[in-house]
Amino acid sequence: MPVETAGALEKRVFEMNPFEFSTARRIIFGSGKREALPELVASRGKRVTLITGATSLKRSGALTKLVDALSARGLAVRVLSGVPGEPTIDGVGAVVAQARKFAPDVIVSVGGGSVLDLGKAVAGLVPNPGTVLDYLEGIGAGKKLEQEPLPHVALPTTAGTGSEVTKNAVLGARMYGVKRSLRDPRLIPTVALVDPELTLTLPPKQTAHSGLDAFTQLVEAYISRRANPLTDGLCLEGVRRVGKSLRIAFRDGSNLAAREDMSLAALLSGMALANAGLGAAHGVAAALGGRYNVPHGLACAVLLPHVLELNRSVAEGRMAELAGTMLGRVYVNRSEGAKRLIAEVKGLLEDLEIPPKLPGVRVERDELPGLVKASWGNSMRGNPVEPSDEQIAALIEAVVEVV
């Protein structure tokens, strides 16, 4: 049998397939644009449940201003706070029960990815009977939402997950050692209202973690088997903005132009991942995050160079394009370009003070097979190389201490 060249293999993996593309019905982007919130809500109803969790938002007074603006527009507002971190099944159940009592017409979520995900879960579950578990994939009954979710306006306060335009709500189910999603295209928020000014107070560490989550999402969606021409354009533009601005936003959080680039990169990463899927960094990060208390963006970041190394044999042309986009040049030699991307990613991680391994995570050797199995979630399907269990175990061993 003739040996397939790397170029021919890549061409076959990435040949154009039929695709569909869904995103928020409306995207409003720009500094100061949060002022549009009262009008956006008032055109959809009179009673609004505002989901938040961000204490820094409360401290800065931004939350009070948003609530006051909604009240001044004559809207009945009920503020509900989730617990810090990813929403859990019980946590979502409690917030949904409170929201059902209030009977809102509209959901507004203001916060990081977890808060926006909680907003999606509440928007989906308030009009539908039953519990969270009834609708959860994998560990629950996986029922379909019969009724349309409530209108949902999502305002991100981090620049990372792109949750404002994705169709799933990630829920922690630590008792099962996994994360699972409520997933439905109708859970994409109705309006993504992205105001980069809301990210100005994000501390450097969270700026790095969330920015690297967005970056990993852009890279994985670009080299995903399910990439399509629309997501390709979004990913390249997002990667260009990350290359230009993530280091600046990390060093000087008050630099609005850099914050704008990162908010846009995060938005583009969400649009891309919702339609092209992700890869092994997100697959393994979900398994580690389900078992250990590690920030999602940090887990993605430490995994990314290893995942790129794994995928180089199949995706080096695409990786060379990403390197060229980040560095503003063209790599005619694909192999050189792909290596350049990996070096560039490592340099970026170093500049953002990301350690090579997840600090404080110790994994017993006999836990490895379980983690490998848990890595085979939805994300893994986009990965260009179909990894063996040994290759997944090697990824895990590369980023945690195995004892």
- List residues binding Fe ion (CB under 5 A): 213
To Fe ion, the closest distance from the beta carbon of 215 in angstroms equals: 10
| Dihedral, CA of residue 101, residue 104, residue 110 and residue 114, to nearest 10 | 50
Q: Please give the C-alpha separations between residue 203 and each of 24, 158, 209, 210, in angstroms, as whole numbers.
A: 28, 10, 10, 11
To Fe ion, the closest distance from the beta carbon of 274 in angstroms equals: 12
Answer for the pair 196, 260: CB distance below 8 angstroms, yes or no.
Answer: yes
Nearer to Fe ion, 80 or 265 (CB): 265
To Fe ion, the closest distance from the beta carbon of 300 in angstroms equals: 6
Residue 35 DSSP one-character state: G
H or E element in which residue 183 lies:
strand 178-183
To Fe ion, the closest distance from the beta carbon of 220 in angstroms equals: 9
Nearer to Fe ion, 24 or 286 (CB): 286
Measured in Å, how far apart are the chain's first and last C-alpha atoms? 44
To Fe ion, the closest distance from the beta carbon of 402 in angstroms equals: 24
Nearer to Fe ion, 10 or 213 (CB): 213
Answer for the pair 152, 99: CB distance below 8 angstroms, yes or no.
Answer: no
Structure tokens, 375: 């890595």
Distance CA 139, CA 398 (A): 29
To Fe ion, the closest distance from the beta carbon of 226 in angstroms equals: 16
Question: Which residue's CB comes closest to Fe ion?
Answer: 213
The torsion angles phi and psi of 137, rounded to 5 degrees, stand at: -75, 155
Q: Which residues are paired to 173 by β-bridges?
A: 178
Nearer to Fe ion, 99 or 239 (CB): 239
Nearer to Fe ion, 213 or 261 (CB): 213
Nearer to Fe ion, 213 or 260 (CB): 213
Structure tokens, 244: 């230009």
